[in-house]
Every structure is written in C-alpha cells, then in structure tokens.
Amino acid sequence: MSSSDLALSVYGLSKAYTIAHNTVERHVTLAEAVLHRLRRPFHRADTETFWALKDVSFDIKKGEVVGIIGRNGAGKSTLLKTLSRITEPTAGEINLYGRVGSLLEVGTGFHPELTGRENILLNGAILGMTKAEVRKQFDAIVDFAGVEQFLDTPVKRYSSGMYVRLAFAVAAHLESEILIVDEVLAVGDAEFQKKCLGKMKEVATGGKTVLLVSHDQRSIADTCRKTLMLRSGRIEMIGTPAEVFKHYASVARPERRTGVTYGRNLGNDAEICDPVMGSATYFSDEPIQILFSVLKKKQQPRTLNAIAEIVNASGQIVTVVTSLQCSVIIENGLQRMRFIVRSPRLRSGRYSINLALEEPETLDRIDDALRFEILPPRDRAHGGFRLLHDGSIVHADADCEIAAA
Amino acid sequence: MSDAQTLTAPEPRALSADHGARPAPPYDTDAPALSVPAPKPLLTIRPRSGWSALNLRELWQFRDLLLSFASRDLKLRYKQTALGVIWVVLQPLMAAGVFSFVFGKVAKMPSDGVPYFAFSFAGMLGWNLFSNIVTKTSGCLLGNQQLISKVFFPRLVLPLSNVPSALVDFAIALAMMGVLLVTYRILPGWGLLLLPVWMALIVALAVGVGLISSALSVSYRDVQYILPVALQILLYASPIAYGVSAVPQRWRNIYFANPLSGLLEAFRWSLLDRGQPSPASIAYAAAATVGLLLLGAFSFKRMERRFADVI
C-alpha cells in the first residue's frame, strides 16, 4: 500500500466522557456551581471516566467502502462524530486526506416551514456545500428525490417518504472525497433504500471513500468490501463483511442470553433448557431436528408457545416454527420438545436458531441458542428446492412433538 | 455432533493486543511501505486545550452557510403573522409611543429640545439593534441543538448569522426614523456621517455579549433567565428614554461605565444633533466594545469544543 492512497488514517483515537456520580456534583445551574466552588474550592467532583473510544487505529484507502458495525454503545457514533469534527477526541490523531461530508441523520437542519427548494439550498449549506455547488447539483438532487411537483411546497406538507428522499438526496450529492453515513439507510421504503445503496456504490466507484454504519448486515455485505467491528470502544476486528459478521454473531450479543445454559434461575414462569441440534449439519432436503426442554413452573391461563427462529448468516430470520402452529400444548413441569422442520428449503450456509417462550409476552428467549450448517446439495440435479432469500419469514412445514425426556 | 457450540469457535483474527502510540495498522497484510513519506493531510484532528486561534479562514469558507441561516431567519420570522414585515416598524414605534406617554407626558423627562417621540424613537433604534442581536445570539446554540450534535460547521457561524437579519430590521426602522425626521423637521448635523461607526460598535458590543452568553448557556441554562432581566435593567440604565443631560454630574462616571451609554448617546447625537457625547466616554466605550468582542470570540472558541458533548 502506498501511503498516497490513504483517504484517512486514525492513530490511537480515544474519546472520554465524564460521568458524574453524585447529582449534586453536576452543576446544572450557575449558582450551584458558584456556591459549590465557594464551599469547597479545591474539591474535585466524584466522576467516572467513560471511554467511548479507546485507542482506535486504522487506515482507510481512497475509494474504499467500509462498513462499521458494533452493538449499541460500542462507539460507532462517537467514531463518526470525531471523524466529522462534531466532537473533539480526548487523545489520538486523525489525518484526513480529503474533504469530509457526513450524514449522521437524515434531514438535520430541514425546516418544516420552508419549501423544498429553500430546504435544498439550506441543507446543502449546512452539509458544507457552497451555494455554487448546490446550484450545480440542484437538478440532480430534485431528480433523485423525485419531488419536482412539490418544490415550492413547505416540507411540512410532504409525506414522510418524500421528506426522507429529499433529505438523503441532498446529502448523496455532497462533493466531498470522504462520505460518512450513519444508519440513515434504515429509513424510507425498500425501493428507496436500494436506490440509496446503489448511489453509495456509485459514489465509491467514482473514487470517493465511504464509511457506513448500519445494523442491516445485508446492506453492508452488498456495499462494503471491508468491515470494521467496534466493541466497547475498541476495534474488535477488521476484515471482509462475511468474516466480521461471523465473529459479530458469535460475540456481539451480551445484552441477551446466548448459548446453552443450565440451572438458571430467572424468576420467570417458564424457561428453556438444554437446547440441542439433532445434527450439526444437514443437507438441504433433510429434515432438521431441534431439541430442547421447557420448564413450566405454574399453570397459566393462556397457552404457552415455544418458538424456534432459523436465522441466516446475515441475521435475517428465514423460518419460524412454533408449538402452537403444530397444536402442541405445553403442560406444567419439565418437558422435552422436538421440532422437526421437514422441508427447510434452505440454501447451503450457516444458520443459527433463536429459541423463545411466549404467552404472548416473552417469558424466556435465547438468541443464538444453536447453530447448524446446511451443506451444498449432494448432486446438482437434486437441488430443485426453492431458495428463500428475499427476507420473508416462512412458517415451514414442520412438526412439533413432546419427546421422551 | 451434539454440541453445536463447536461451530462457533472464536475467530482467531479478533484483535486484542494493546496498541502503542502509533502502531502500524494491525490488519494491513499488504507489504507496509513505511519508508514512503506520507503526503500532507488536508486536515489533522487532534485534541486541543486552552485558548486557540479563531480560524477566520474556515469561517470565511462557511460564509454561504452563514447567509443561509440568516435568510432562513428572515423568511421564517413573520411567516403566519397577519401584519408580516410591518412588525419591524411597528415594534419600535409602539415602544417609543409607550415611552413618550410614560416618560414624556407623565414623568416629563427632558428630551434635549426635540419632540419626545422622535427622541425616544432614536434611542429605541440603537437599543433594538443591540438587544435583538444579544437575545438572538444567546439563544441560538440551544435553539439549534440538533444541528450542533449532528453536523460540523464552525460554531461561530450560528451566533454571527443573527447579525444580518438584525441589520435588515435596523435598516427598515432607520427608514422610519427618516420619516420622523422629515415630519418633525429635524435636520441632523455632520454627525450623521459617524452613524455607521456607532452602528458598527453597537453590533460588535452585542455580538461580544451574545457570544459569551450563548457559550455559557450550553452548560448553564440560567443564562436564558438572567438575560431578559439584565436587558431590562440595561434598557433603563442607558440613555434611551432620557438623555445623558438628565443624569446628575456626580453619577456620570458610573453611568458611563456601561459602554452602551456612550454609544447610544453618540448614536442619537448623530441622528438628532442633540446630546453631549464626550470624547472620553466614546473612547472608553469603543475600547470596552473591542475588549468584549475579543473576549466573547475567544471564550466561545474555547468552550465550543464541549458544545456537542454537553448540549
């Protein structure tokens, strides 16, 4: 790598926030602050330093599209905010080899009373474009957003779809070399999201560098060649989207219970225990077996429903099996259950299973409880099953039975 | 295989090593060419501390944003009002009317030999320029929290963008003043030529005060409660409803400690050729104005790096 290819480099970037422990120590009013200083002139408030980012270092080359993932609080937004100069780092250094345009929120600075035309000019200026640049891009922006007829209508009369389209369109036409985008693709309808992703790709092929935060694994996998995962303010991993998401799926869910657990005491009225796969690998035409126990502690008026969700490698739920769907009543006490998904029709690849008990409130839930792999078809001629990759959830042809414990 | 967990063996690529101050990017599998000198970055972001330069060049690059904010202000100001832009004239007229009644008719304050209405209107003109800018700039950061936490631009743009719209209001009211001068057959002297100077000083003073209070208001919301009271006091502590001639001689020194006193008296002298702005009071007011403007700008700059985190 020649260093002249660099779009940006980050060395030892850290950002600390100070959290005050005692509410008295946080002076909300000037008088409090003054009084406090007078009373205890040399006292330092009891505070804790929270490192939103800690010693983050990475380089990004020109023309790269980089996805940033990490669960809430991992430091994604703080990273983007320091890169786009909204907030200052506590330590470290960022070198930017091009103009940065950032879109951390769709429609920031849009004013409801102003017309579409006025908002394009205003928002362009807010995002850092000069008047001349906005003028030059004006038609392209209007065209992209598809709001020609409503240009002179105040945006408060726009539908939410139109509003979002217009806001994104302005940002997408930023003429900066580095584009930073935070989670904004989560808005708008599917068609528009596709259009936005297409625009991002187009921007990148034009030699621009794009940093993209998203929870949507598919949009990152589709758009980015490189993915960076943050965890507790540090870089956990940098690699291809597939590699990083695999790792993400295995570590990034401490907020929910993950994996096999025994002897828990959750105080809930029902629990899932001992989940096991019938086999770790299946062929696509083989029935999949999921076994687990349900411990139901007391009689409830409503029927308890056991649910297994099959999740593909990009985090989409592709199949759902429920005990209610199979008319199985879960009795009190400990019972061994077996789900048999007869024709899963899954493409080869890795899958995980989430298990849950609902009545209809969720009584227990284990994400990533089990994993299995669908092997490639044994012979091509036999692979005539339907592929399910459009994101829809399918209630599979499945059986549920009470197995011998 | 009964234990599905074996499929999820931890990735060996996960990074855990602590980085030194300037590590080579740990993922970089290409041959590192560290001997090649890096090109100069367009911008380097580092933590700053203490006082820093104002970076007027960057501010200039964002002049279009400043004008956009200003025109947004103007466009929005009188939307959904029945009288619209007439309010710009009506507000100081009404205020001068109240002053004429209370101070002119009831309290019989001296007006240096000109009709009291024109006298107080001239005072209100300068005062409104000052108080409009102070009020708007000090509230502008809290009023644009969303922008501050989501978009980068030189933060000084926000308070400064209030100046153009205040100047537009001032220009309209100034035209009204012209009408009054003609109506009352008052002829301003050569002092009229100095009016832009007083105007510029009043604006600078207002911006200085506004910058300090807006930066403080980010951490301390008290500012928004103190400010209206302080302005109210200042309104009566400055020569608006009365002339400096009405202030007893022994109080003059204290009276002119308020830089607005010298500026407003000079401002009215330019318009009406009445009053006694002393060169000393004007020199002091000008110095205080420049001092407050610089203090405001630098302390704003110093506090601005916490805005996005605190607001």
> Is residue A15 very low, low, confident or very high in pLDDT (cuts 50, 70, 90)?
very high
According to the per-residue pLDDT averaged within each range, which of A239-253, B161-175, B196-210 is highest? B196-210
Does A223 lie in the same domain as A129? Answer: yes
Q: Which residues pair with A290 in a beta bridge?
A: A277, A339
Gyration radius (Cα) of chain A, Å: 26
**Is A81 part of a structural domain of the chain?**
yes
Q: Does A119 lie at the interface with B, CB-CB under 8 angstroms?
A: no
Helix (H) or strand (E) holding A375: strand A362-375
**Is A324 part of a structural domain of the chain?**
yes
What is the per-residue pLDDT for A200? Answer: 77
Does A300 lie in the same domain as A231? Answer: no
Nearest CA distance, A304 vs chain B (angstrom)? 26
Does A205 lie in the same domain as A158? Answer: yes
Tell me whether residues B48 and A58 touch, CB distance under 8 A: no
Residues 164-203 of A with CB under 8 A from B: none
What is the per-residue pLDDT for B47? Answer: 84
Name which of B28, B149, B309 is nearest A1 (Cβ-Cβ): B28
Please list every residue in chain B whose beta carbon sits closer than 8 Å to the beta carbon of residue A280. Answer: 1-2, 4, 6-7
The string of pLDDT tens digits covering residues B115-150 is 888 998 999 999 999 999 999 999 999 888 888 888
**What value, to the nearest 5°, has the Cα angle with vertex A286 and ends A285 and A288?**
125
**Is A58 part of a structural domain of the chain?**
no
Tell me whether residues A128 and B5 touch, CB distance under 8 A: no
The string of pLDDT tens digits covering residues A49-62 is 788 899 999 999 98
Does A126 lie in the same domain as A73? Answer: yes
Dihedrals phi, psi of A22, to nearest 5 degrees: -100, 130
Does A179 lie in the same domain as A307? Answer: no
Share of chain B above pLDDT 90, in %: 39
> Is residue A274 very low, low, confident or very high in pLDDT (cuts 50, 70, 90)?
confident
Does A232 lie in the same domain as A177? Answer: yes
Tell me whether residues A30 and B223 touch, CB distance under 8 A: yes
The string of pLDDT tens digits covering residues B181-203 is 999 988 888 889 999 999 999 99
Assess whether pLDDT exceeds 60 at residue B2: no
> Are B263 and B201 within 8 A, CB to CB?
yes
Q: Which of B3, B48, B65 to mutate to test the interface with A (most CBs of A within 10 A)?
A: B65
Domain residue ranges in chain B: 84-310
Share of chain A above pLDDT 90, in %: 12
Q: Tell me the average pLDDT across A165-189.
A: 77
Q: Which of B22, B35, B45, B307 to mutate to test the interface with A (most CBs of A within 10 A)?
A: B45
Name which of B19, B68, B152 is nearest A55 (Cβ-Cβ): B19
Q: Which of A10, A19, A30, A274 to mutate to test the interface with B (most CBs of B within 10 A)?
A: A30
Does A278 lie in the same domain as A236? Answer: no
> Is residue A2 very low, low, confident or very high in pLDDT (cuts 50, 70, 90)?
low
Give the DSSP letter string of chain B: ---GGGGGPPPTT---PPP-SSPPPTT--SPP-TTSPPPPPSEEE----S-----HHHHHHTHHHHHHHHHHHHHHHTTT-SSTTHHHHHHHHHHHHHHIIIIIIIS----TTS-HHHHHHHHHHHHHHHHHHHHHHHHHTGGGHHHHHH--S-TTHHHHTHHHHHHHHHHHHHHHHHHHHHHTT----GGGGGHHHHHHHHHHHHHHHHHHHHHHHHH-TTHHHHHHHHHHHHHHHSTTSS-GGGS-GGGHHHHTTSHHHHHHHHHHHHHHS-S---HHHHHHHHHHHHHHHHHHHHHHHHHGGGHHHH-
What is the per-residue pLDDT for A92? Answer: 92
**Is A85 part of a structural domain of the chain?**
yes
Q: What average pLDDT is seen over chain A?
A: 77
Distance CA A72, CA A17 (A): 16
What is the per-residue pLDDT for A184? Answer: 63
What single-letter DSSP state applies at residue A337? E
> Are A73 and A64 within 8 A, CB to CB?
no
Please list every residue in chain B whose beta carbon sits closer than 8 Å to the beta carbon of residue A156. Answer: none
Q: Which residues contact B209 (CB under 8 A, 6 or more apart)?
A: B134, B138, B292, B296
Residues 244-303 of A with CB under 8 A from B: 246-247, 249-251, 259-260, 276-277, 279-281
Does A204 lie in the same domain as A77? Answer: yes
What is the per-residue pLDDT for A40? Answer: 67
> Are B264 and B289 within 8 A, CB to CB?
no
Of the candidates A201, A199, A197, A204, the residue with the CA atom closest to the CA atom of residue A177: A204
Distance CA A221, CA A217 (A): 6
**Is A32 part of a structural domain of the chain?**
no
Does A211 lie in the same domain as A356? Answer: no
**Of A17-21, A229-233, B78-82, where does mean pLDDT reach its minimum?**
A17-21
Distance CA A25, CA A22 (A): 5
Q: Tell me the average pLDDT across A130-139.
A: 89
Q: Does B6 lie at the interface with A, CB-CB under 8 angstroms?
A: yes
> Is residue B34 very low, low, confident or very high in pLDDT (cuts 50, 70, 90)?
very low
Q: Which domain holds residue A380?
A: 270-403
Name which of B22, B45, B68 is nearest A82 (Cβ-Cβ): B45
> Are B109 and B242 within 8 A, CB to CB?
yes
Does A99 lie in the same domain as A159? Answer: yes
ipTM of the prediction greater than 0.85, yes or no = no
Q: Does A138 lie at the interface with B, CB-CB under 8 angstroms?
A: no
Q: Does A86 lie at the interface with B, CB-CB under 8 angstroms?
A: yes
Number of domains within chain A: 2
Does A279 lie in the same domain as A238? Answer: no
The string of pLDDT tens digits covering residues B73-109 is 888 877 777 777 788 788 888 888 888 888 888 888 7
Q: Tell me the average pLDDT across B251-270.
A: 92
**Is A320 part of a structural domain of the chain?**
yes
> Is residue B298 very low, low, confident or very high in pLDDT (cuts 50, 70, 90)?
very high
Does A232 lie in the same domain as A115? Answer: yes
Residues 196-255 of B with CB under 8 A from A: 216, 220-223
CATH number at residue A166: 3.40.50.300
> Are A347 and A374 within 8 A, CB to CB?
yes
Of the candidates A202, A222, A224, A196, the residue with the CA atom closest to the CA atom of residue A211: A224
Please list every residue in chain A whose beta carbon sits closer than 8 Å to the beta carbon of residue B223. Answer: 30
B133 versus B16: which is more confidently predicted?
Answer: B133
The string of pLDDT tens digits covering residues A81-95 is 999 999 989 999 999
Q: Which residues contact B47 (CB under 8 A, 6 or more apart)?
A: A88, A89, A90, A91, A92
Secondary structure class of A334 (helix, strand, coil):
strand
Tell me whether residues A6 and B62 touch, CB distance under 8 A: no
The string of pLDDT tens digits covering residues A356-394 is 888 767 778 888 888 888 876 654 433 333 344 443 445
Tell me whether residues A237 and B11 touch, CB distance under 8 A: yes
CATH number at residue A398: 2.70.50.60
Residue at which a domain ends, from A197, A221, A251:
A251
Please list every residue in chain A whose beta carbon sits closer than 8 Å to the beta carbon of residue B148. Answer: 86
Q: Tell me the average pLDDT across B149-164.
A: 91
